[in-house]
Amino acid sequence: MVSAKSSNAAKLELANRLFFRLYQCANMLHKTGSRAVEAEGLTTQQWAVLGALSRPEAERGMSVGDLARYLMVSRQNLSGLVSRMERDGHVSASADGRDRRSRLITMTAPGRELWTQHATPKIHGYYEEVLKNFSVDDVTHTLHYLLKLLDNMKKLDDAAQKGADEEA
């Protein structure tokens, strides 16, 4: 019979391995994903921004805050990235009509052309390569578990944010 203590130790060891593999995957996604779109002058972060802005619900743009929340990055990190993308002509930033203090980020026509005509085919090729040995069920199950993990992380983050707000 397996003791609760050894079962917990085994679960912690698996958790350590899982999170280390997630860390490695994030690093490899950045490295190999950037290579997939570098000929288009993009990074994985820019790919994520253009992908977020290409969704039908973002057609009219997104506020910097909404975009940061959607991508789960800080406004500070996103601000510099958006400035570079604006300089490169991929996005534009304008005052949000609903809130003049907020900037609305939209994809420009050249940015949309870059996204649809050049980046997306390369991204799809990248997906085919990295998911080569995955069945549709494998991808579905992986997505399911990653969403569960993300939901738990969001709850943890929300609780920490609420605690920080209460201290302030």
The pLDDT confidence band at residue 118, using thresholds 50, 70 and 90, is very high
Does the pLDDT value for residue 1 go beyond 80?
A: no
State the angle between helix axes of 75-87 and 64-71 in degrees (0 to 180), rounded to the nearest 10: 110
Enter the pTM of the model. Answer: 0.87
Of the candidates 126, 67, 114, 117, which has an alpha carbon nearest to the alpha carbon of residue 93?
67
> Which pLDDT score, from 0 to 100, does residue 145 have?
97
* Residue in the block written with tokens 């997630």: 22
CATH level 3 topology of 14-132: Arc Repressor Mutant, subunit A (1.10.10)
Average pLDDT over the chain, rounded to an integer: 93
Q: What is the DSSP letter of 90?
A: S
**Dihedral (Cα; 154, 159, 165, 168), 10-degree rounding:** -130
**pLDDT tens, residue by residue, 28-80:** 999 999 999 999 999 999 999 999 999 999 999 999 999 999 999 999 999 99
> Which pLDDT score, from 0 to 100, does residue 96 have?
72
What are the extents of the domains in the chain? 14-132
The pLDDT confidence band at residue 2, using thresholds 50, 70 and 90, is low
